[in-house]
Amino acid sequence: MKEIINSHFFEANTTHIKDILEAMERLRKEFPTHFFVPSTEEELQHIIVNKHGFVLLIEIKGQLAGGVIVMYPNENNHYLSNHDYAECAIVDSIFLEPQFRGQSIAQYLMKAALERLDKIPYIYASVAIDNIPSQKLFQRNGFKIYEQKKLYNNYDRYVFLLEKDNQHAL
């Protein structure tokens, strides 16, 4: 993985929730409602505190540049998959501050998340139909469009799936 100069890469804890929410609020104002769906404080608490996923963050030159949020679905939160929730993860969000876009940082975050999910056979994500940069990011990392579905206030989205070939695993 390409090293990003003057960066600090780490797993979020509860002290980072406020910063994550502030970054997401800025993005919510920048993008149409269907394009970017920000996480709530409750969702982040569930992921970070209850260990129902993880959040990886990157700071560049002391500023939060972005992050990736991954959820482990359960019987109550399994809206993307047709597979057993115990075998799935959901890349819920990848977010970057505007000044850090176009520098391969999203790719760096995606690769780091996928490395942590190496034993999970089915990894899902949903992307707005008109969010071409995110679609390309997922496709570059082996995700394929699984289906088109109405999500988040009935908006059309692509559900992407990375299905690992576990038949050849040792």
User: Structure tokens of 113?
Assistant: 């998340």
Is residue 7 predicted with pLDDT exceeding 90? Answer: no
Instruction: With H, G, I as helix, E, B as strand and everything else as coil, classify residue 156.
Output: strand
With contact defined as beta carbons under 8 Å apart, do 151 and 131 qualify? no
Q: 108: part of which helix (H) or strand (E)?
A: helix 105-116
CATH top class, domain 7-168: alpha beta
Is residue 170 predicted with pLDDT exceeding 50? Answer: no
What are the distances in angstroms from CA 56 to CA 1, 11, 64? Answer: 15, 4, 11
What average pLDDT does the structure give for the chain?
86
Q: 19: part of which helix (H) or strand (E)?
A: helix 17-30
Q: How confident is the model at residue 135 (pLDDT cuts 50, 70, 90)?
A: very high
Residue with tokens 């797993």: 11
Is residue 137 predicted with pLDDT exceeding 80? Answer: yes
* Per-residue pLDDT tens over the stretch 61-78: 889 999 999 999 877 666
Q: Mean pLDDT across the stretch 100-125?
A: 94
Instruction: With H, G, I as helix, E, B as strand and everything else as coil, classify residue 84.
Output: coil
Q: Mean pLDDT across the stretch 133-152?
A: 91
Is residue 10 predicted with pLDDT exceeding 70? Answer: yes
Give the pLDDT score at 29: 78
Helices in 31-67 by DSSP H: which ranges? 41-48
Give the pLDDT score at 39: 80
Is residue 82 predicted with pLDDT exceeding 80? Answer: no
Give residue limits of the domains in the chain.
7-168
Cα–Cα dist 4/110, whole Å: 14
Instruction: With H, G, I as helix, E, B as strand and everything else as coil, classify residue 25.
Output: helix
CA nearest neighbour of 142 among 117, 167, 168, 105: 117
Q: 137: part of which helix (H) or strand (E)?
A: helix 132-140
Give the pLDDT score at 167: 41
